[in-house]
Structure 1
């Protein structure tokens, strides 16, 4: 995308006052304001108009469009339009990630992150937007704090809106947050470390899987081409979703700068957009694809809702199939059953024709995880994702005696599990306390 295309809206405003000015020269000026002076394009309109007026010898006159600064107070992001400026709104700060940018040989700090509207309500009643801090407001934008933003503006890019916190904006802390803003660092972190929190990260990882996909827009206006896959390093693996083409291959070692970690259900996921930089990297000491096979293989005890590209080996406990008619009147068959490994048990659902017997060992690739009755359910869509093993990976497990002993402290911090046993001290009993029994049918 050219500078002119990126700043087309601002260029049009300048052309209203300076009709003879060159479009590309105007766009270049906006680029300089954004990259060198760290001034958001909408806030630079008046200055750019004045520059081109002076250059052409025009009489300097009032610029109503650029000077009008009517305050707009909003309670929700849905109240805001893509052209709104001088906005006042209360938000909750979710993440704040500083970045260093070189401007004329001098380091300047900007920051990215997430904020949520309706901060005094529960999380399920909030909407999350990205923001960019151009004015070094880090002291007042600590994660988990609630702040009032004054004099901010709305930015829209690729049909996605975000908030620009400008140098002239005011940030008032309404409720203290924490922890403190992390130190600025451009060094890559491990996948294990990156998975701990949401926010921007740099990674050094190998591409384990990569495939194109299509998602349909919620408003039904069309579809978007995307790419899905998996990154891995010696500390673990993580799925990624890219909104731009990935010009690399499975097995490539890549350095990713400016990626975003978001949680999909319970599972962290790397989001890649047009601001993310991905380049091939060479490091002879980095683990090969074969050496990473151990960290890319999951056990049932590791499964979390939302995981994708799961590779695992399981033992079949039971298997059945049923036929149903979907909403389009089509007759479908779904096959499912209980499976287990030494770390626990869960369900397996197959939307393809496979017919394992109890006691069989299956190797699954590219599976996904969704919840069924509150616990993980592995799902496969194609029969080529399933291999029936002839050699048993472990001694056959007796389902009647298979209860995995897990410490209570680990259960509190892990995901939902089945087929486990634990012990602890009862410290409170309420009227709704008790054992939940499900109908076996």
Structure 2
């Protein structure tokens, strides 16, 4: 046996009930690798070919990693919703929700109806983990086996009071306090039909955070300061969101929490956060990233597309759009600032029609990107929006952007004053 294949051959043989010659396994493995099939996928393919089944790797939810296959988890279903998606021009019903164990909570998608309900404790084998909004999401696919258990998940009862800024994706049994700034009630589709849920913006003394309540408590009213116990955190679009369900204890506080909005946060401080909601930053534009200027989006899902091809809907009618992806730096750190077409027009004075005209005259869409560079590179801007941290770094998607009234000269004089003083 060739020594470089030895551990992989042994792994394949352990998953088989029948004896296969080592030389045959090596020959088949070599053939798949020659066709550039990834090694892990090649091993799974051969196990299936030889009639075996991989043994699932037991994982706690806090330990799962994007890209893992054939894992086994045990947890309690916290919430579950039903949604219809279009995949390759065909509609399919999926079930998505949140599952938790004693270590963390994670989102999941079930590609079949396993008759799951909130409160069910389940064991899942042959699950896999995908990237969803830069977070690991567990998927129950066609090969997954879901078993309902009679045991209960033991969650640590003692939880210390946390500030909103301390909350992280996957936190369970959360105890926090905040004031409700606004509320929006809307309907979603669950497996049992339509259901009303409450979306709110909460704040403590220095931090805002979105809240989703799956039950409508009388204490959840605008202006109320409340204490929340046994909630959990799930990130949405990179921003930690506090979730309240049937197990959460919601109590109205006698004292009122006052939120004091900060004029601007240092980017260096933001880097330490998991995500942030409705914050302001200020800095200088250091560079304009590729993908700025004129872009094309899918008419179905609004994803950015190339040559009329969407990775979900394949060949589609494209719609024109415009954006800026810039690197902004305030001296303490840098992040990617994303401005949509409205904000691009606001700070560059350039709308989509004018951008298309520039591209036609120059016979290149790159000319639009160059025009944007000439107009904003090196200038100082303030921006407001949501910050998220993912595989490609830290990004702030702006809801507003503007040029501060304070001039560079005034800022320099202040800096000199601090140094000399």
Alignment TM class, shorter chain as reference: 0.3 to 0.5
| TM-score normalized by the length of structure 2 | 0.44
| TM-score normalized by the length of structure 1 | 0.43
Q: Which of the pair has the greater relative contact order for Cα pairs under 8 Å at 6+ separation?
A: 2
